[in-house]
Structure 1
Amino acid sequence: MPKIQTSSLHSDFAVQVHTSIMDIVDDEAAIAELKAIWRQSPVMIFRRQSLDEPELVRFTQRFGHCETSGRKDIQSPYHEQIIYFSTLKYSDGRFVGGFAGGEDVDWHSDQTFQVRPATGAILYGTEVPRDGGDIYWANQYAAWDQLPADVQQLIDGRTGIYRYAKRYAMLNTLELQDKAKANALLNLPDAKHPVVLTHPGTGRKALYADPTTLIAIEGLSDEQNARVLPLLFEAGGDPAHVYRHKVQNGDMMMWDNGCTMHRRDVMQIDQPRLMKRTTFRLSEAEYCVPHA
């Protein structure tokens, strides 16, 4: 009998997982079952969790190598694998973490501007604002299926060019005020990834067309790129394939950036918020991992 029960939040794309994470973190069979669920449902929500930072890292590492952020300004002072998104402040006036308020960037997939993106992500809400801040995920399997056959044939097997400068132009005003950090990212070389990813376990194809970083598809003319890219971006954020989540205290949200995009609503900076995030590297033998 399965140990883990789920309920659908949006088709088979997003599910709520009815278990306490600390009840299963050391259970090999349960973790294997959870991985099987995740292959089919790339957004998983665990409600009413109570995790300290070592437990959050421990759970993350059951799925892949937990990355250490290069952003020391938003890093947890206790665990380098965790970053904070928050409206709270330290006693010296600095924000606790980053992305404190304002509008988020548009639909995006994390780290697409990097040569080797880490595609696994967990966000844990320890203090959630009363208003705003809802998080949305868009199903990129469905985005691929929605594309006209001629567009699918045109882009399948092709490589996209992804540039951080495009995203930087969209960032909210509180993000990356440090010019040295901004310049380091702006000077990154362009990344190249397939614009269509195939899950090695299920064979499902997912669109990988981040509108905040994708600037062109190799092998297409300027005219073809001008016609096709807007179609990809429209399909990627189609409301029919979007799950909207009203975050509650204790929610742990887990998603696969290889087959999803996400965004959030505007935040109210005068309301308390503290979210803890881990990012982890997934195996290309088991997941949709972009590589050129």
Structure 2
Amino acid sequence: MIQTQIQTSPLHSDFAVQVHVAIQDIVDDPAAIAELKAIWQKSPVMIFRRQALDEAELVRFTEHFGKCETSGRKDIQSPYHDQIIYFSTLKYSDGRFVGGFAGGEDVDWHSDQTFQVRPATGAILYGTEVPRDGGDIYWADQYGAWERLPQDIQQLIEGRNGTCRYAKRYALLNTLELQDKARANAMLSLPDATHPLVLRHPHTGRKALYADPTTLIGIEGLSEEESARVLPILFAAGGHPSLAYRHKVHNGDLMMWDNGCTMHRRDPMKLDQPRLMKRTTFRLAATDYCTPHA
């Protein structure tokens, strides 16, 4: 067993850090995983550069932090491990994309799965083939977003739920994401989800804004007019440039983040350049992480 004190370098204050370790070396080391969990408490975006992981190692590493979800979409799932989905510009010989979400347009600030009643908030994205131009990924610190809000807005929203609707995100989506009409209609028929607008980390006590601009349509207990006044203030705080870390992705980068206290977005990219990203999504425990559910 490896005995190590893992070193990190700040990328954006203490919110995003580069972790100087080869995951292959520590994936079966409980002490090292415990160190990473402690780092993640403080720095919800962790970047591991120049990794060389097979898919079994990626799944094994992920499940140290939470139970992996499996996608209901077989068209974007890895043929080897159903806990992994692919984002890719590559195609099979029959013309189908290898994976999904291949469009080159930019992606707005968002948190994953906010339209679901019980979102899974842990995420890992592993770049095995990365385009040369474009496609930079950004994360925004939602602890900082909460602190940026005027005090009267903090007092107004704390303890209130927001209403999230998939149809809002669908209207913003790249058209390649849901070409299957039956799948699109199923997603559009999902009931609205309600989540607290302010999440509190159970260990650190820090408060994070949880206001996804791509799904949040209203604030419970406020009139439509008052919600319409407050929502732009929340969205502006959540995506404020001072809170954002921009990451130029290179082959072998593994990026890990906590959706309970971050948002993320992506720059446009060129579809004529090869890209293959492998993604795991995992459910974090409310006893240890900043989550919108008990």
Tell me, yes or no, whether TM beats 0.5.
Answer: yes
Q: Is residue 59 of structure 2 the alignment partner of residue 45 of structure 1?
A: no
Structure 1 counterpart of 2:181: 179
SS in 1 for 2:212: coil
Separation in 2, partners of 1:169, 1:201 = 37
Does structure 2 conserve the Cα–Cα contact (< 8 Å) formed by 1:104 and 1:171? no
1:161 aligns with 2:163: yes
SS at match of 1:169: helix
Other-structure match for 1:96: 98
RMSD: 1.0
- Render the CA deviation track for 1:185-224: whole Å, top value 9, x for unaligned: 0000000110100000100000000000000010111221
Give the drift of 1:36.
0.6
| Contact 1:162/1:192, CA 8 A, preserved across alignment | yes
CA distance in 1, matches of 2:269, 2:198: 32
Residue segments in structure 1 that go unaligned for 5+ positions in a row: none
- Which of 260, 280, 292 in structure 2 is aligned with 1:290? 292
> Which amino acid is the alignment partner of residue 197 of structure 1?
L
Say if 2:159 is the partner of 1:137.
Answer: no
Identity of aligned residues (%): 82
Q: Deviations over 1:21-79 (max 9, x none)?
A: 01111111111110010010000000000000000000000000011011211111111
Q: Distance in 2 between matches of 1:256 and 1:99?
A: 21
Per-residue deviation at 1:101? 2.1
Matches within 5 A, 1:47-126: 47-126=49-128
Q: Deviations over 1:78-103 (max 9, x none)?
A: 11000000000011100011111221
Distance 2:269 2:74 in 1: 23
Secondary structure of the 2:169 match is: helix
User: C-alpha separation between the residues in 1 aligned to 2:214 and 2:290?
Assistant: 20
Structure 2 residue runs without a partner (length 5+): none
Structure 2 contact 107–268 (Cα < 8 Å) conserved: no
Q: Name the stretch that deviates more: 68-77 or 124-133.
A: 68-77
Aligned to 1:170: 172
Residue identity in the other structure for 2:183: K
Contact map agreement 2:107 2:267 (CA 8 A) in 1: no
Partner of 1:214: 216
1:276 paired with 2:286, answer: no
Corresponding residue number in structure 2 for 1:5: 7
Work out whether residues 102 and 173 of structure 1, in 8 Å CA contact, stay in contact via their aligned partners in 2: no
| 4+ runs deviating over 2 angstroms | none
CA contact (8 A) 2:88 2:98 kept: yes
Q: Secondary structure at the match of 1:72?
A: coil
- Comparing 25-34 with 74-83, greater Cα deviation is found at 25-34
